[in-house]
Amino acid sequence: MVDDAGAGDPPDGLTAAEIGMWQAFRNGSVYDLRSGDAAVDDPHGGHPWGPERSVRARIVCWLLLDGPPALAGRVSSLKLAGVQITDVLDLAGGTVVPYTEMKHCRFEKEVVLPESRFATLRLVDCSIPRIEAARLHTEGDLHLPRCRVHNGIRLTDAQIGTDLLLNQAVVYRDRRGRSITGDGLAVGQDLQAEMMESHGELSLRGAKIGVSLSLRGSRLINQYGRHAFNAPQLTVERTLYLTPAAVGNPPQTSGMTPARGTRVQRFECEGGIRLDDGRFGDAIDFAQARFVLQNDQEISLRRVQTPELRFLGEAPQRGKVVLSGAKVVNLIDKAASWPGPGGLQMGGFTYENLVPLGSFPLSQRLSWVAAATAEYNPEPYEKLAAVLRNGGEDADAREVLLAKQRRRRETLPLAAKLWGYAQDWTVAYGYRPGRAAVWMAVLWAISAVAFSHADHPAIKPGEHPHWNPALFSLDLLLPVINLGQDSYWQLRGGWQWFSTALILLGWVLATTVAAGATRLLRRN
Task: Check whether 323 has a pLDDT greater than 70.
Answer: yes
What is the tens place of the pLDDT at every residue in 216-256? Answer: 999 999 988 999 999 999 999 999 999 999 876 555 554 45
Helix (H, G, I), strand (E, B) or coil at 401: helix
Q: What is the pLDDT of residue 57?
A: 97
396 pLDDT tier (thresholds 50, 70, 90):
confident
Q: What is the pLDDT of residue 2?
A: 35
What is the tens place of the pLDDT at every residue in 409-427? Answer: 887 888 877 877 766 666 6
**Rounded to the nearest 5 degrees, what angle is found at the Cα of 196, between the Cα atoms of 190 and 201?**
95
Task: Check whether 175 has a pLDDT greater than 60.
Answer: yes
Structural domain boundaries in the chain? 30-247+264-349, 426-522
497 pLDDT tier (thresholds 50, 70, 90):
confident
Average pLDDT over residues 255-267: 67
What is the tens place of the pLDDT at every residue in 78-88? Answer: 999 999 999 99
Name the β-bridge partners of 331. Answer: 309, 354
Nearest one of 223, 216, 284 to 255, comparing CA atoms: 216
> Where is 285: in which H helix or E strand?
strand 283-285
The length of the chain, given as a count of residues: 524
405 pLDDT tier (thresholds 50, 70, 90):
confident
Helix (H, G, I), strand (E, B) or coil at 204: coil
Q: What is the pLDDT of residue 100?
A: 97
CATH of domain 426-522: 1.10.287
Nearest one of 112, 115, 165 to 137, comparing CA atoms: 115
Task: Check whether 26 has a pLDDT greater than 50.
Answer: yes
Q: Which residues contact 352 (CB under 8 A, 6 or more apart)?
A: 328, 329, 330, 387, 390
Judge contact between 187 and 166, C-beta under 8 A. Answer: no
pTM: 0.82
What is the C-alpha separation between 24 and 101, in angstroms, rounded? 13
Task: Check whether 5 has a pLDDT greater than 50.
Answer: no
Q: What is the pLDDT of residue 131?
A: 98
The sign of the torsion formed by the CA atoms of 238, 218, 147, 227 equals positive
What is the C-alpha separation between 381 and 295, in angstroms, rounded? 26
Strand order in the sheet with 219-221: 54-56, 84-86, 106-107, 127-128, 148-149, 170-172, 197-199, 219-221, 268-270, 290-292
Q: What is the pLDDT of residue 465?
A: 67
Task: Check whether 188 has a pLDDT greater than 90.
Answer: yes
What is the tens place of the pLDDT at every residue in 55-72? Answer: 999 999 999 999 999 999
What average pLDDT does the structure give for the chain? 87
Amino acid symbol at 380: P
Q: What is the pLDDT of residue 471?
A: 74
Q: What is the pLDDT of residue 325?
A: 94
461 pLDDT tier (thresholds 50, 70, 90):
low
Task: Check whether 483 has a pLDDT greater than 90.
Answer: no
The sign of the torsion formed by the CA atoms of 416, 421, 422, 423 equals positive
Q: What is the pLDDT of residue 261?
A: 53
Q: What is the pLDDT of residue 524?
A: 42
401 pLDDT tier (thresholds 50, 70, 90):
confident
Average pLDDT over residues 250-266: 60
Task: Check whether 430 has a pLDDT greater than 90.
Answer: no
> Strands 239-241 and 290-292: what pairing?
unpaired
What is the C-alpha separation between 348 and 361, in angstroms, rounded? 23
Q: What is the pLDDT of residue 140?
A: 95
E strands, 249-333, are 264-265, 268-270, 272-274, 279-280, 283-285, 290-292, 298-300, 305-311, 320-322, 327-333
Q: What is the pLDDT of residue 426?
A: 65
Q: What is the pLDDT of residue 521?
A: 45
Nearest one of 106, 105, 200 to 152, comparing CA atoms: 200
429 pLDDT tier (thresholds 50, 70, 90):
low
The lowest-confidence range among 32-41, 138-147, 337-346, 432-441 is 432-441
The lowest-confidence range among 34-38, 320-324, 399-403 is 399-403
Q: What is the pLDDT of residue 1?
A: 30
Task: Check whether 20 has a pLDDT greater than 60.
Answer: yes
What is the C-alpha separation between 400 and 351, in angstroms, rounded? 16
Helix (H, G, I), strand (E, B) or coil at 18: helix
Higher per-residue confidence, 369 vs 434: 369
